[in-house]
Chains A and B, each alone.
Chain A
Amino acid sequence: IESLKMEPLADVAMLPGEERVIDKDIIYICPFNAAVKGKVFITNYRLYFKNTDSTPVTLDVPLGVISRVEKMGGASSRGENSYGLEITCKDMRNLRFALKQEGHSRRDIFEIIFKYAFPLSHGMQLFAFLSQEKYEENGWNVYEAMEEYRRQVLPNSEWRVTFINKNYELCDTYPTILVVPYKATDEDLRRVAAFRSRCRIPVLSWFHKENHAVIMRCSQPLVGMSGKRNKDDERYLDLIREANGTTKLTIYDARPNVNAVANKATGGGYEGDDAYQNAELVFLDIHNIHVMRESLKKLKDIVYPNVEESHWLSSLESTHWLEHIKLVLSGAIQVADKVSSGSSVVVHCSDGWDRTAQLTSLAMLMLDSYYRTLRGFQVLLEKEWISFGHKFASRIGHGDKNHADQDRSPIFLQFIDCVWQMTKQFPTAFEFNERLLVVILDHLYSCRFGTFLYNCESARESNNVRGKTVSLWSFVNSDTSLYINPFFTPESSRVLYPVASMRHLELWVTYYIRWNPRILHQQQSPVEQRYKELLAVRDQYLKKLEELQLSDSTHLTNSSTPNAATPNQHITHLQTPF
């Protein structure tokens, strides 16, 4: 297979389409050891460092994770290793390199890293468009909107599929296929769009097969200072409520109350009591993207390069990172609880692409066991995050040199952290493991796959992402065994409510502190290892038994032993005699 043919670059296998740009002798100032002499290789995809002295250190950093490159020290700086480069990464680490002070030795490498790490700022293409990787699986087929809606038993007598947005005319940040109340006409939708920020009207995210309650997502209503009302929007929300006979529609506004009020000044706002008589509004007090960005920055300060020692717990608390996680999770729990009790809900924040995506996708993860499978989780991300326009390009800043851009925010990371917290609390409920979550985050930044590029479907379509890049799911699904949780026990009907208490929330050490060699990193938990060993023993016994039964049936032609074909049948058969 061609995808496996890779050129050697020092010790690392280059990707098809990857090209070497420069090699250079350099000193890596490792914060955990000391300065390490070695060689750095820059390709159009990665920065690779290998020691040449005795300290075994390698670095393999996709250029996409770099958010900032700076020169450190000047030609006249004193002190050892004071002249070089400082690289800030998006994945919770910084890299420092030192070079010889003579002859502007860092100029070429600085410029090359700057250019290749931020290709979009230099009129170049992201690596995903240059990659020639090929996989047997095509990850772009993982999510087909119609297929997913059909899985949810949609459309039906209460909900219809509309193609009103087929050319992104109704809303340019929504996908083309939308599910809306059966009774709402396309004309109604257009009028509602006029009253919703960026035309992101309430559309269906998830349908409860038993009680027919729904999760709807949207942006804030354009109430403004004057407290404008819109009869069509009011009627539309009532249609949502009526669809399954919910007595009072619950509107979850993800923002803190004060922020929602403040949004009125810029034309936004929230659904008022008098205008929406059959609805109740609940504020979930989740802060905005700027607060989250600062929180993560503080977290990085206390874990990299060294873990804060003397006041670890109060330092951790002062970052508020886990507190935000708690609020997001408890918001999602409220949504899931409401829906499972039979009431339909509407979820929005300001624009409906950050906090809203977090809440709906987490609630769906709690309500629907399908999303807890490896494939289902991919569908969930494709649907709630990618197709509904979470602004990945703006939030991550793929290939963009403006590291201080105010649009940057770790909203998606925060969501993945919430998922991780759930997998910790329910170790048997998820088909995928922690490794999948880390791989997703690594490739959120790497720009190797097209999955997380661009802000919305319409931009992805006009740039032909599906045609020109490889999906992350092609990579993942070509070797799923790496991402399978052996303890997974499928349970279809159970709602999973995590405990959103600080007592249970913990810092995801294996992600946030993974660069620190002092922190214990168990590749595989000992219990998991033992479990896998036992699985192997079981399979061995089963095989032996099957062989014996086979030889029995050849010896005794009138044997009544059923010839069980699968291990499970064996087990049930074996259970009964005892």
Chain B
Amino acid sequence: MLSLGSVGAKSTKPSFVSYVTPEEIKLEKEPPKKLKHPDLLPGEVEFCSANPILKYTQDDLSQRGVFGTLFCTNFRITFISDEKSQEETTKTFKNKLYGENDIPLMFVDHIYGVYDEKRKLITGALVKNKYPSKIIIHCKDLRVFQFCLTYTKEEDAKKIFQGIAHHCLEEKSLKCVFAFSYTGTPSPEMQRKRETILFDSPEDWTQEMKRTKANCRLVTENENFELSQRLPKYFVIPSALGDLFSYQGKGFPIWCWSHYSGCALFKASLPPVTQEDGDFQKHFDIMINAVAHNYLYSAKTEDLSESLPTIQDIQQSYNKFKQFFLIENSTDFWLSDMKWFSSLESSGWLDIIRQCLQKAVEVVECLEKDNTNVLITEEEGTDLCCVISSLVQIMLDPYYRTLMGFQSLVQKEWVAGCHAFLDRCNHLHQKDKECYSPVFLLFLECVWQLVQQHSPAFQFSETYLTVLSDSVHMPVFSTFLFNSAHHRESVLKHQRQLSLPSTAFKTPFKKGFFKDETDSLKKMLRVKRLSRWMGSPDSTAAISREFYESWQQRPLDYHGLLLPCLDGPAVRVWMQRYLRWIPEVHILGGGSVAVMTKLMELLSQVQDLKRVLEQRDSSQAAKPDHRPYIQHRLLSFGSSGRLPSSFPFAYSRNRSFKPIIPTGLMQCLMLTDSLASQEDEASSFVSLV
């Protein structure tokens, strides 16, 4: 498992930003456990337990298993083996917050009970005095657990089953989420030089506008959420937009990013539907005019709710898709293997990824080639708008391909941008499934495709994305816990408000360049521009094909524009995320991990040599060097080729070769600061994975 920084730096509630900080990765030598009780996190409380419980191992067909104790706490379900697990002693990489046998409550996707050989989906409502002989837990990170309750005293079995079902499946209030009980504090070493920009202060936004040379206006009127509770605390709009209070909190074109040419990308929720048709059109016109004013009076608009799948489509597709990876036994695995490709296709998930990337490429083309302002709209403006705007920015702006840049982007577009994480992730197990949809995961999937195709352009690796996709459901961080900025503030009232007096900010920038143009000219320009955009889908596909091809013919610049190849074979399954727990597909000593190990070995050789040379130099200058050595130097040569391809997530057991696990590898898998800074300054963005 991964060894990760555990808690936040800036606020009392940690965020994923501070969570995934590879610089802090430390080896943890855990003392062997004597007590058969879980090591509780600060604030964690044990609810119930049962012993003996048989946990089935997933490695082979025969339903073998290990006996142990099953616990349910306010944070997780955890199983502690009666035997001393070998993994515990050999594992060097583990997640600091949860281990192999831990299921944080929010990770639970579905629970099945086996009653007299029949499998039933457990819902919240339970029949008293009845409990299954076996429970099967499907997790959101795609792990599958199977526990047998028949060896336990009836009373204990009932208690643990009801406890688990209650805490995992019942609708609960936000206050019950473990994050509010967690009392861990950030350690001082968590402080870093380069911070992720959280976009919760006006300065962050002005800085961002400055960075992209944007010519827009910062809105501070929503500081106390007077405009709308669905809008960010601070946001940026076209400078030509007038009185904000007439919009009823909807239909603002919100600035996302400015292209160096001056044109910019905006996103908006649709104006209130209750208005008369004429009003709607009028409102829409004002919106487009304001956007067009931003640069050279041209604007294109795209309603994403019409051209992309709905959030319900996305959810349904993902539900189908994930089933192919929730494998309970070998038989199921091989049965599903033959129809693998058509199954994948029937889920439509890869196609949704392709459509999103395609749409993002179209927007990129408008900005990059036509230098036209773009306004993307959607009912709420916080789902597919976030996906597309984030993707566009990653393709166009190399800053967002760095680790800090990417995290800042997630803050800007998703967290500060009011994506409804709580509803979309269904953290509280609400019965109303309408609003549940893995939109953020879809975004990470699209990013993964880009990382996969152009890995040197990204500072972070796929492992980072995989861990990030898990941490969405990690109830220790508040980052992905709320529906909006207002929601976050109202829940975390005790927190210090990070706002500044609005007087610190200048009033809107000077009026638009084309202010004096006649209305007719504006209209003509707009109609012309819009018509092309609204052209038939075939023609836009052909046009962006041309755009892609001309880009592809140029030499690839990892610091420049980055486009994905979207042909059939190029859009792939995120193997690391989806196959990591399935023992059947682990390649012992193979996969990209084998290459990374080789690379690490060489890197440590080079660093050793460099150090020796430096020491020789300094010894001549009588200045001994006592800097600590970098950990991955401990890699033993010849150990390469022993790690399973699922590293650093799952470890295969029962294999003829027990893998020897080198230490410090995570540094390379996640970040390459040491390499980049030492060998090649020019390519500080280059990632190794």
Chain A 285-327 interface 0/1 with B at a Cβ cutoff of 8 Å (1 = within): 0000000000000000000000111011111110000110010
Q: At the interface, yes or no: B609 with Cβ under 8 Å from chain A?
A: yes
Contact of A502 among B341, B345, B587, B605 (CB under 8 A): B341
B456 interface residue, CB < 8 Å from A? yes
**By the criterion CB–CB under 8 Å, are B599 and A530 in contact?**
yes
Interfacial residues of chain A within 479-518, with CB under 8 A of chain B in the complex: 487, 489, 491, 494, 496-499, 501-504, 506-507, 509, 513, 517-518
Extra contacts, 10 of them, besides A317-B340, A425-B590 (Cβ < 8 A), are A313-B345, A322-B341, A428-B595, A491-B641, A498-B587, A518-B548, A518-B549, A527-B596, A538-B609, A541-B610
Q: Give Cα A426–Cα B680 distance, bound, in whole angstroms.
A: 28
Q: Does A123 sit at the interface, judged by CB under 8 A?
A: no
Residues of B within 8 A of A535 (CB): 602
In the complex the two chains form, what is the Cα distance from A308 to B344 in whole Å? 16
- Whether A501 lies near B337 (C-beta < 8 A) is yes
* Complex CA–CA separation, A527 to B549 (angstroms): 25
Chain A, range 343-402, C-beta contacts under 8 Å to B: none
Which of A313, A428, A526, A541 contacts B344, CB < 8 Å?
A313
B594's partner among A487, A504, A509, A541 (CB-CB below 8 A) is: A487
From 321 to 335 in chain A, residues with beta carbon under 8 angstroms from any chain B beta carbon are: 322-323, 326
B138 at interface (Cβ–Cβ under 8 A)?
no
Taking A428-B641, A489-B598, A502-B338 as contacts, is the C-beta distance between A538 and B606 under 8 angstroms?
yes
Which B residues between 333 and 347 are near A, CB-CB below 8 angstroms? 333-334, 337-342, 344-345
Q: Bound complex: CA of A507 vs CA of B680, how far in Å?
A: 35
25 residue pairs A–B, Cβ–Cβ below 8 Å: A307-B569, A309-B568, A313-B344, A313-B345, A315-B568, A316-B568, A317-B342, A425-B590, A427-B590, A427-B591, A428-B589, A428-B598, A428-B641, A491-B641, A494-B589, A501-B337, A503-B585, A504-B585, A504-B587, A518-B548, A519-B570, A538-B605, A538-B606, A541-B613, A578-B633
Asked if B686 is an interface residue, CB under 8 A from chain A, the answer is yes
Is A161 part of the contact surface with B, judged by Cβ < 8 Å?
no
- Residues from chain B with Cβ under 8 Å of A533 in the complex: 679-680
The answer to whether A519 touches B337 (Cβ under 8 A) is no
Q: Are B569 and A545 in contact (CB under 8 A)?
A: no
Interface residues of A (CB under 8 A from B): 307-309, 311-317, 322-323, 326, 425-429, 487, 489, 491, 494, 496-499, 501-504, 506-507, 509, 513, 517-520, 526-527, 530-531, 533-535, 537-538, 541-542, 544-545, 548, 571, 574-575, 578
Q: B437 an interface residue at 8 Å Cβ cutoff? A: no
Q: How many residues of B contact A (CB 8 A)?
A: 64
Residues of A within 8 Å of B339, CB to CB, are 317
- The reply to whether A578 and B589 contact each other, CB–CB distance below 8 Å, is no
CA A494 – CA B588 in complex, angstroms?
Answer: 11
Residues of B within 8 A of A428 (CB): 589, 594-595, 597-598, 640-641
Q: Which residues of B contact A502 (CB under 8 A)?
A: 337-338, 340-341
Complex Cα distance A494/B590, Å?
12
B629 touching A578 by the CB < 8 A rule?
Answer: yes
A538 lies within 8 A of B602 (CB): yes
Chain B, range 572-612, C-beta contacts under 8 Å to A: 573, 575, 579, 582, 584-592, 594-599, 602-603, 605-606, 608-610, 612
Whole-angstrom distance between the Cβ of B529 and the nearest chain A Cβ: 28
Q: Produce 1/0 per residue, B164-196, CB < 8 A to A.
A: 000000000000000000000000000000000
CB distance from A227 to the nearest CB of B (A): 34
B373 at the interface (CB under 8 A from A): no
Docked-complex contact B657 and A544, CB < 8 angstroms: no
With A and B bound together, what is the CA distance between A566 and B584 in angstroms?
A: 42
Nearest B residue to A322, CB-CB: B341
B609 adjacent to A545 (CB under 8 Å): yes
CA–CA, A165 and B389, complex, Å: 73
Nearest chain-B residue to A497 (Cβ)?
A: B588
- Please give, as numbers and ranges, the residues of chain B lying within 8 Å of A307 by CB-CB distance: 567-569
Q: Given the known A-B contacts A548-B616, A578-B633, are A312 and B568 also in contact in the complex, defined by CB atoms under 8 Å? A: yes
Q: Mark out the residues of chain B between 618 and 634 whose CB falls within 8 Å of any chain A CB in the assembled complex.
A: 629, 633
In the assembled complex, which residues on chain B have CB atoms less than 8 Å from the CB atom of A503? 337, 340, 573, 575, 579, 582, 585
Report whether A541 and B606 are in contact in the complex, using a CB–CB cutoff of 8 Å. yes
Contact A308 B568 (CB under 8 A): yes
Distance A530 CA – B683 CA, assembled complex (angstroms):
11
Q: How far is the CA of A379 from the CA of B637 in the complex (A)?
A: 29
Flag if A314 contacts B679 (CB, 8 Å): no
Q: Which of A323, A326, A498, A541 contacts B609 (CB 8 A)?
A: A541
Q: B591 near A425 (CB under 8 angstroms)?
A: yes
Interface centre among B333, B612, B657, B688 (most CB of A within 10 A): B612
> In the complex, which residue of chain A has the Cβ closest to the Cβ of B453?
A520
The closest CB in chain A to the CB of B548 belongs to A518
- Say yes or no: is B350 at the interface (Cβ < 8 Å to chain A): yes
Q: Does B455 contact A (CB under 8 A)?
A: yes
| Nearest CB in chain A: distance from B283 CB, A | 38
Q: Is B552 an interface residue (CB 8 A)?
A: yes
Q: In the assembly, what is the distance between CA of A426 and CA of B592, in Å?
A: 8
Asked whether B585 lies within 8 Å of A314 as measured between CB atoms, the reply is no
Distance A76 CA – B683 CA, assembled complex (angstroms): 60
Measured between beta carbons, the chain B residues less than 8 angstroms from A326 are: 337
Closest 7 CB pairs of A and B: A312-B568, A502-B340, A541-B609, A317-B341, A313-B345, A526-B456, A313-B341
Residue of B nearest to A529 (CB): B456
| Contacting pair A530 B590 (CB below 8 A) | no
Contact A518 B609, CB 8 Å, known A313-B341, A317-B339, A426-B594 = no
Write out the residue numbers on chain A whose beta carbons fall within 8 Å of the beta carbon of B609: 538, 541-542, 545, 574
CB-based contact A309/B567 at 8 Å: yes
> Residue B565 at the A interface, CB < 8 A?
yes
Query: Are the CB atoms of B455 and A527 closer together than 8 Å?
Result: yes
Report B141 CB to chain A, min CB distance, Å: 18
Nearest CB of chain B from residue A431's CB, rounded to whole Å: 13
B606 partner, pick from A426, A499, A534, beta carbons under 8 A: A534
Min C-beta distance of B446 to chain A, whole Å: 17
Contacts of A312 in B (CB 8 A): 345, 567-569
Q: How far is the CA of A323 from the CA of B591 in the complex (A)?
A: 21
Residues of chain A lying within 8 A (CB to CB) of residue B350 = 313
Docked pose: A571 CA to B590 CA in angstroms: 25
B107 to chain A, nearest CB (A): 23
Report the minimum CB–CB distance from B632 to chain A (whole Å). Answer: 12
Q: Provide the bound-state CA to CA distance between A261 and B176, in Å.
A: 67
A537 engages B641 (CB within 8 Å): no
- Pairwise interchain contact A313-B602, C-beta atoms closer than 8 A: no
Most chain A CB within 10 A, of B344, B549, B568, B613, is at B568
Cα of A496 to Cα of B640 in the assembled complex, Å: 14
Closest B residue to A535 by beta carbon equals B602
Closest Cβ–Cβ distance, residue B479 to chain A (whole Å) = 31
The reply to whether A507 and B608 contact each other, CB–CB distance below 8 Å, is no
Taking A531-B602, A574-B612 as contacts, is the C-beta distance between A316 and B341 under 8 angstroms? yes
Residue of A nearest to B595 (CB): A427
- Decide: B641 and A534 in contact? CB cutoff 8 A: no
B453 pairs with A530, CB closer than 8 A: no
User: Provided the pairs A425-B591, A545-B609 are in contact, do residues A527 and B337 lie with their beta carbons within 8 angstroms?
Assistant: no
Nearest CB of chain A from residue B230's CB, rounded to whole Å: 37
> Once the chains are docked, how many angstroms separate the CA of A513 from the CA of B567?
11
Cα distance A23–B570 in the bound complex, in angstroms: 39
* Distance in angstroms between the alpha carbons of A20 and B344 in the assembled complex: 52
Task: Give complex CA distance A545, B570 in Å.
Answer: 45
With A and B bound together, what is the CA distance between A326 and B609 in angstroms?
45
Q: Which residues of chain A have C-beta atoms less than 8 A from B680's C-beta?
A: 533
